[in-house]
Structure 1
Amino acid sequence: STTATSSFSIIIPFRNEAGNLSELLQSLSNLHYPKHLFEILFVNDASEDNSVEIINAFFNEKPIDCALNNIRIINNIRNSNSPKKDAITTAINIAQYEWIITTDADCNVPIMWLKTLDAFIQTNNPKMIVAPVTYSNNKTFFQDFQLLDFLSLQSATIAGFGIKKPFLCNGANLAYKKGLFNIVNGFEGNTNIASGDDIFLMEKSLQKYPKKILYLKSKHALVITKPQPSVKDLIQQRLRWAAKTSAYNNVFGKFVGLTVLFMNALIIVLALLSIIGALRFELLVLFFALKFFLDVILINKSARFFNQPLNFISYVMSSLLYPFFSVFIAVYSVFFGFKWKDRGFKK
């Protein structure tokens, strides 16, 4: 009901996203917000497909309710080992408006996205807003597995802000003042790391304005992204995420991550001890059941908020597989790099 006052520059880096852009473009065209208060900056990171043509064709056929010339496609200016950080920096350098919002080309944004952010800004006067993200899900087991993993991360994000120890965020739905980006010198200090355009910026912002980095828990601000299409893609994504953890400065975040890794590794060790007869099988079952129900309590609340009802069978199977998956990713990431958008990155 408030009159919109905040102005937004929406930044969307893309590389070879022809298969994903249609849903994003349609959702952007549906945005309910005064057209003179936002712009959309698509940053082309050396796409080799027809992504640019798809964007141009869409807006030629269906002009968005946005001010004239406020939709632009610009080329990424590479200056570092991180194409995405370079893309965001390139766009911020020409952004017209006070607030920067980042999202991804494989996302779908809600119709009241900007309106909800604006109301939150007017009420709370933040410097940075971390907002919710969830997966679309066609209910295959592979997608359920990814969804449960992602829900655990979103649960941890919300919990961290709830106890005033934030340590996670997601660049698919992140807003911050352009002035804040400049004050903390953008991504300076972590451009050698390919990913982390969200986490490292939040860490630097927390050091400067610990009480001005807030979480927006609203379904009207919920961005939907897509799970990985294959096991290979999922492994590469998780390796990319793991590659940045060694550079975290957030002590609490490191503690949580190491605790989760330890618990998953412990399950594997207990299973091996049970197999060789060094541990009673009942004790393994008891430990697994305890962890299982604690996870259910944590994730189920978030699942309701994200409107993602849990499939009990998928949850049990995922809980059995996840310890092996997470430990594999942790160990593999220590020694090897990863691929991202058809580019190889060293550890």
Structure 2
Amino acid sequence: MFLAAIPLLGYAVFARFLANGFRKEISVDAETPLSPISVILPFRNEAKVLSSCTSAILDALGSTDQLVMVDDSSTDESLTMARELAGKDARVTVLQADGEGKKAALEVGIAAAQNDIIFTVDADVYPQSHWPAVMLQAFTEPDIHMVCGNVHIKQTESSISTLWEAIDFMSLVGSGRALTAQGWAVMCNGANLAFRKSSFERVGGYTKHKQIPSGDDVFLMHEMMHAFPGGVVPASDLAYGGVETLPQKGFYKLFQQRIRWAGKGVSYTDKHAIFVTWLIGGLSLITTILGVLTIFWVDALVSWLILWVGKAAIDTVLLSTYNRGYKRQIPLWAISIQALLYPYYTTLIAVLAPFVKFSWKGRYLSRSAKE
């Protein structure tokens, strides 16, 4: 019982650290004119959503902004649709990636960017109010090199998998924001990320981690933080200036995506990222092991319940803080249930990630495969 209380107490301290970071105000200069931006949108086989997504993005951009769309070897009508759009709007540039994978597509787009402030987005995002102005405000300070924006799941349907994903995303984005605000640039999301092109070039872009599937956002963030201490910040506003992205189609697709994301964890070199990965993964693994032990060893029951229910209670309070701050209105009962199931979900992904190949846009990759 005592041994279970020790990691739980440590996690409670960490959760308080997150809650304080999440609420931390990000000061910006709202009076300085905002710079023009270049939005880089890599796409592969996105014909179903590309038109509505790009229309929403263009509606949010100014007349001096630029949208660079980069095709990553699409096999559907995506490239044709993009070229038709470019013919109607002078702000749009359409290119094709030289190599294969998202990083290669982003590199082509960034090289073609006409403005120093770069935004990266995914091909299925829809901007919220005041995007990209909220993201841009921080760049009025010359020592800010990267701004990490909010990304939420667009709840287009009331399925259990969509609700689960919405909570999971909120947990990741909220914790990423909290850590970044506290000076721990650990995680971000490339679906809403902004940085200076000049800074990107100074840190060598994606070169150091180009062989790793996924991670175009997180590894770049770590490089920026190491090169420019204090130069990576979250967006200034909690409820506005983010984007919404479409949910995965069911638990199978969601599980594949999470395995793809988890695979990059073994390549982390940032001490804060390693600490957070081991803290969350370790607590989940201990909870799972204790739960299994109760089948054979009844004395483990009390320790398991203390750790399992205690961590779920802490997570429920923390996620409720994120929920209110983001104005997401996710029901408390759903947050509580997910908090109870999360250790086993996390453990399963962590155990399978090193061994399972995943598919992404019709490509099957392992964690060490070139994206």
TM-score by length of 1: 0.90
Deviation at 1:56? 4.3
1:42 aligned residue:
69
Partner Cα separation in structure 2 for residue 192 and residue 282 of structure 1: 45
For residues 269-309 of structure 1, the C-alpha deviation after alignment (integer angstroms, 9 at most, x for no partner) is 22222233423645433322211111012211111122222
Question: Which aligned pairs between 1:101-116 and structure 2 lie closer than 5 A?
Answer: 101-116=119-134
* Structure 1 residue identity aligned to 2:81: I
Question: Which aligned pairs between 1:210-221 and structure 2 lie closer than 5 A?
Answer: 210-218=229-237, 219-221=239-241
Secondary structure of 1:339's counterpart equals: strand
1:205 aligned residue:
224
- Cα distance change on mapping 1:297 and 1:314 into 2, 3 Å: closer
Aligned partners of 1:103 and 1:171 also within 8 Å:
yes
Aligned partners of 1:43 and 1:74 also within 8 Å:
yes
1:92 equivalent in alignment to 2:113: no
Partner Cα separation in structure 2 for residue 147 and residue 339 of structure 1: 21
Deviation at 1:346? 2.3
Question: Which aligned pairs between 1:301-312 and structure 2 lie closer than 5 A?
Answer: 301-312=321-332
Of the candidates 243, 248, 251, which is equivalent to residue 228 of structure 1?
248
Length, aligned pairs only: 336
Aligned partners of 2:180 and 2:232 also within 8 Å:
no
For residues 193-246 of structure 1, the C-alpha deviation after alignment (integer angstroms, 9 at most, x for no partner) is 121111111111111101211111323311111221122211211111111111
1:179 aligned residue:
198
2:94 aligned residue:
73
Deviation at 1:104? 0.1
- Cα distance change on mapping 1:161 and 1:121 into 2, 3 Å: same
Deviation at 1:50? 1.3
Aligned partners of 2:146 and 2:233 also within 8 Å:
yes
* Structure 2 residue identity aligned to 1:184: V
* Structure 1 residue identity aligned to 2:37: F
Of the candidates 295, 302, 307, which is equivalent to residue 275 of structure 1?
295
TM-score by length of 2: 0.84
Query: For structure 1, which segment, 98-107 or 13-22, has the greater mean C-alpha deviation from structure 2 after superposition?
Result: 13-22
* Structure 2 residue identity aligned to 1:11: I
Secondary structure of 1:263's counterpart equals: helix
Secondary structure of 1:220's counterpart equals: coil
1:139 aligned residue:
158
Unaligned stretches of 5+ residues in structure 2: 1-29
- Cα distance change on mapping 1:280 and 1:177 into 2, 3 Å: closer
Unaligned stretches of 5+ residues in structure 1: none
Instruction: Among all aligned residue pairs of Structure 1 and Structure 2, give the percentage whose two residues are the same amino acid.
Output: 27
1:11 equivalent in alignment to 2:31: no
Give me the CA root mean square deviation. Answer: 2.0
- Cα distance change on mapping 1:29 and 1:189 into 2, 3 Å: closer
Partner Cα separation in structure 1 for residue 283 and residue 34 of structure 2: 47
Deviation at 1:71? 0.4
Partner Cα separation in structure 2 for residue 32 and residue 337 of structure 1: 38
* Structure 2 residue identity aligned to 1:48: T
Secondary structure of 1:169's counterpart equals: coil
1:83 equivalent in alignment to 2:101: yes
Question: Which aligned pairs between 1:18-57 and structure 2 lie closer than 5 A?
Answer: 18-31=47-60, 33=62, 35-36=63-64, 38-57=65-84
* Structure 2 residue identity aligned to 1:7: P
Aligned partners of 2:162 and 2:250 also within 8 Å:
no
Partner Cα separation in structure 1 for residue 136 and residue 307 of structure 2: 46
Aligned partners of 2:316 and 2:336 also within 8 Å:
no
